[in-house]
Amino acid sequence: MKHALPLAIAATLLAAPAIADETADKPSAGELELAELLAGRVAGEPVRCLRAGQRDGLRVIDSTALVFRDGRTLYVNRPRNAQFLDEWDVPVFRQFTSSLCELDQVEMRDRTSLMGGPVLVLDEFVPYTKPAKEEA
């Protein structure tokens, strides 16, 4: 009986990698939401900055990305420490020029108290557009 506990612990430790492998293959809810949003779109060359007119709409995708809309183009930014993105927080951008650029910071603030939260650093912006329809 005194050997039962060590055996149970050993069995748990041996099963842990199999459980981790199963969950590692499954995309997160944020990745699924982003994939759905980008369905039918093609990625373009990344850009370092967005002008004010290129950021009309903003969508925060939990633990994944910030998505900016410019007409028919969606710009996806996967900031460093994206795991702290929460759609219920208010992003406050700290930019160093009139454009929003790679390496600028965004502080996520609580929507109700406006208390400061994690600060994330922006990465490059990847544009996604729908391909032009080919005429027959």
Handedness of CA 128, 33, 94, 52 (dihedral sign): positive
Q: Rounded CA gap, 130 and 85, in Å?
A: 26
- CA distances, 130 to each of 17, 73, 123, 134 (Å): 40, 8, 23, 12
pTM: 0.77
pLDDT for residue 55? 81
Handedness of CA 94, 103, 64, 126 (dihedral sign): positive
pLDDT in tens, 80-93: 999 999 999 999 99
The DSSP letter of residue 54 is G
